[in-house]
Amino acid sequence: MTAQLIDGNALAKTIRADVAHRTDALKARGVLPSLAIVLVGDDPASQVYVKHKVNDSSETGLKATLERYPASMQEAQLLSRIAALNADPSVHGILVQLPLPRHMDASKVIEAIAPAKDVDGFHVASAGALMVGRPGFWPCTPYGCLKMLDSIGYDLRGKHAVVIGRSNIVGKPMAMMLLARNATVTICHSATADLKALTLQADVVVAAVGKRNVLTADMVKPGAVVLDVGMNRNDEGKLCGDVDFEGVREVAGWITPVPGGVGPMTRAMLLVNTLEAAERAAG
């Protein structure tokens, strides 16, 4: 068996086209969907990420403004700037690129963003809305993963999903969203005792640890769906995920590549969230 690829690039292109169509409809009503991206410091990966986000926004007709600040910026200054963006009716979405400099409290900064503009889906209010099924913003990476499952017509009802990665950014929100689709979910991490025994039971495995080869072929049930959220570099310096792709693709039924899988979908769902924020504000 050779797994079928879930092409994140192709699916993201379709989603961006839909966002562009809906953006045009809002513009016809005099509303320009606007995203404010705040970058503090000079983290190389973050600079690449925000460049892609700005480009994606421009392609779909959304207005994206990138604000760059030095790593020496004080937390109080950042909180003041977020307050100003919260109060600006022309700004519909706010994204503070993580990680922040060590002297800043990321949780405090995220909680300062107005829930109505929390298009990254990290605010506690967004998490609470997700828990009880009320309108909010879903975190972009788990949201993108679910869209990928939808794209292959995969019904999660009654399935067992294993999420390797317990972070508040991906792991826990991913688990909640899978539960909302009536899956049975196990959350673990790379040091979980007998991880292989758990993953071999899984119909769906989500690898989101940030560690190369955390999931190998002998850990995957034949025909399972494998979603690789990891972003790493191999020995040659090329981008790779958390999954031993070449090995696992010979066992799994479906698999996402890195690059070209979850990454483009994460960015696409940011556009969707920003557009929905603008639509809600417009009424």
**pLDDT tens digits along 239-269:** 999 999 999 999 999 999 999 999 999 999 9
Residue 143 burial (C-beta neighbours within 10 Å; 0-12, 13-18, 19+) = buried
**pLDDT tens digits along 14-51:** 999 999 999 999 999 999 999 999 999 999 889 988 99
Q: Which residues pair with 27 in a beta bridge?
A: none
* pLDDT level of residue 169 (50, 70, 90 thresholds): confident
**pLDDT tens digits along 198-211:** 999 999 999 999 99
Confidence (pLDDT) at 126: 83
pLDDT over 90 (residue 62): yes
Active site residues: 53, 97, 120
pLDDT over 80 (residue 167): no
pTM for the model? 0.94
Query: What DSSP state is assigned to residue 235?
Result: T
Going by C-beta distance under 8 Å and a sequence separation of 6 or more, which residues neighbour residue 198?
Answer: 162, 186, 188, 192
- How far apart are the C-alpha atoms of 42 and 37, rounded to whole Å? 14
Q: At 65, is the secondary structure helix, strand, or coil? A: strand
Residue 100 burial (C-beta neighbours within 10 Å; 0-12, 13-18, 19+) = buried
pLDDT over 80 (residue 84): yes
**pLDDT tens digits along 109-151:** 999 999 999 999 988 888 787 777 777 899 999 999 999 999 9
Q: Is 250 left (phi over 0), alpha (psi -120 to 50) or beta?
A: alpha
Walk me through the domains of the chain, giving residue ranges and CATH numbers: 30-114 (3.40.50.10860), 140-263 (3.40.50.720)
Sign of CA dihedral 219, 182, 14, 126: negative
Q: At 4, is the secondary structure helix, strand, or coil? A: strand
**Structural tokens at position 4:** 């079928």
**Structural tokens at position 188:** 């673990």
Q: Is 153 left (phi over 0), alpha (psi -120 to 50) or beta?
A: left
CA 121 to centroid of chain Cα atoms: 9
- How far apart are the C-alpha atoms of 134 and 36, rounded to whole Å? 25
Confidence (pLDDT) at 191: 84
Query: What DSSP state is assigned to residue 2?
Result: -
Confidence (pLDDT) at 135: 74
- Nearest alpha-carbon partner for 260 in 41, 52, 27: 52
